[in-house]
Chain A
Amino acid sequence: MSELTITDCTDWTKVLVRAAPSSALAAALGTPYGRATRAADGALVVGTAPDGWLLLAPDAPAVSIVQRVATQAGPEFASIVDVTHGRALVRLSGTASRGVLAKVCAVDLADAAAPAGAAIRTLVAGITAMIVRDDEPGELSFLIESDRSYGEYLMDVLLDAGS
C-alpha cells in the first residue's frame, strides 16, 4: 500500500445525465445525490446533483453509455450529454491522500463521514470539485473531478499539498 500517488484520469469517458429525481431513469441509475455506485457495465455512476449524475468509465466509448442510458430513460424528459472533454479527473490514492485533501478542502473525509462510495461536491483549493471516495483493492482512493480548464491548477495544488 503506497503512501501517496496521483494519477491523471482526464481521458476517462464522462457522460452527464439530467433527469427528475422522481423519474424512472433516476430509479434505474439507483444512485442518489452524494453517492457513487458501479453500474453493471463497470461505469461509476456518481450522483452530482439532486437531478444530475455523472457516469465515469476508463475506456467505454461515450456513445455506448449515452445509448444505454437513453434506453433506460425511455420517453421521459432527460438529457444525456457527453462531457468527456469538459471535465478534468484526477485520482489520489494512498494512506496520505486524506491528509493532502485536508489541506485544501473543508469537508470531513473520514470513514464515518465519507465511507466508500461517498460523493461530495465542495470547494477544493477554491474551485468547485466533486470528490468521490472510490477505494481500490486495499487502498484508500479518491477521484476528484473539476472543470477541465482547472485541471492543471488542480494537479499543481495537489502536488504542492502532497509534497
Chain B
Amino acid sequence: MLLLPCPHCGPRDAAEFGYVGERVARPDPNAATPQHWRSYLYLRRNPAGWTDELWLHRAGCGRYLAISRNTVTGECRSTPGEAG
C-alpha cells in the first residue's frame, strides 16, 4: 500500500486518503469555450513518471493535499502550500 506524505500528519497509509485526481485548474465558467471546459473536465495527462495530484486526507487532518506521485516508481512527495 502506498505511503503518502501528509504535511500535517506525517507519512500515512493510502487507505486514509481519498484520491481526487490530477490537479487541473478550473477555467472561468463565463469565458470558457466548450473545448476548454471539457479538457478541464475530462482530459488528463496520465504520464509515466511524475504527476501532480490532489488527495483528500479523509481519515487524518481532513485537508486536500497537493501530492506529486511518480507513477513508475511509486515515490510520493507532498507539494506544500499548493493545495489549490
Contact = CB atoms under 8 A, between A and B. Distances in A.
Q: Do chains A and B touch in the complex (CB under 8 A)?
A: yes
Interface of A: 33-34, 49-50, 52, 106-107, 120-123, 128
Interface in B1-49: 8-9, 12-13, 15-16
A107 B13 CA distance: 9
A52 B9 CA distance: 14
B63 A50 contact: yes
Given A122-B12, A122-B16, 19 more contacts: A33-B61, A34-B8, A34-B9, A49-B61, A49-B63, A50-B61, A50-B63, A52-B62, A106-B13, A120-B9, A121-B60, A121-B61, A122-B9, A122-B60, A123-B13, A123-B15, A123-B16, A123-B59, A128-B59
Contacts of B12: 106-107, 122
Given A33-B8, A50-B8, A121 B13 contact: no
Contacts of B8: 33-34, 50
A121 B16 CA distance: 10
A50 B7 CA distance: 10
17 contacts: A34-B8, A49-B62, A49-B63, A50-B8, A50-B61, A50-B63, A52-B62, A106-B13, A121-B9, A121-B59, A121-B60, A122-B9, A122-B60, A123-B13, A123-B15, A123-B16, A123-B59
A161 to B, nearest CB: 18
B17 to A, nearest CB: 10
B59 to A, nearest CB: 4
Nearest to B12: A122
A7 B33 CA distance: 60
Contacts of A49: 61-63
B61 to A, nearest CB: 5
Nearest to B62: A49
Contacts of A121: 9, 59-62
Contacts of B61: 33, 49-50, 121
B24 to A, nearest CB: 25
A19 to B, nearest CB: 15
A131 to B, nearest CB: 11
Contacts of B62: 49, 52, 121
B59 A122 contact: yes
Contacts of A122: 9, 12, 16, 59-60
